[in-house]
Amino acid sequence: MENLAFFLGESWLFALTAKDPAGELLALNAPGTTVTLEVRVRGGAVILTNTAPELSTGADDGVQSEALFTVTPAQQTSAGVADRVYDYSIKVALPNGVTYGQARGHLTVTRLP
């Protein structure tokens, strides 16, 4: 679990290298594979979902296993994000139905000073 902190009204970036439980890289550009970021009210409903990360290839591996999600201020406003603590998770779903959790934790959102 990794806890993060962002300011309300700034673009938020979530980056990851996707791996299975054995540490093998997951090819995120394989047909039918989806990568999903969810932000939810603590213990409650999902308020923001992003399934369109920018994908890239790792420096040495040649596998498109890196994902970068951007959550814009407009997306925050549309989702009703406020000054509080949320839960977030990032998951990879493969075409065969297997899903791997990649990251999760608490997301503290505060107003700009």
- How would DSSP label each residue in the chain? ---EEEETTS-EEEEEE-B-TTSPBP-TTSTT-EEEEEEEETTS-EEEEE--PEEE--TTT-S--EEEEEE-HHHHHHHT--SSEEEEEEEEE-TTS-EEEEEEEEEEEE---
CATH of the domain at 64: 2.60.40.3350
Residue 62 — pLDDT band, cuts 50, 70, 90? confident
pTM over 0.85: yes
pLDDT > 90? residue 57: no
pLDDT > 90? residue 108: yes
What pLDDT, on the 0 to 100 scale, is given for residue 1?
67
Q: Domain tally for the chain?
A: 1
Range of the domain at 17: 4-110
Average pLDDT, the chain: 92
What pLDDT, on the 0 to 100 scale, is given for residue 88?
96
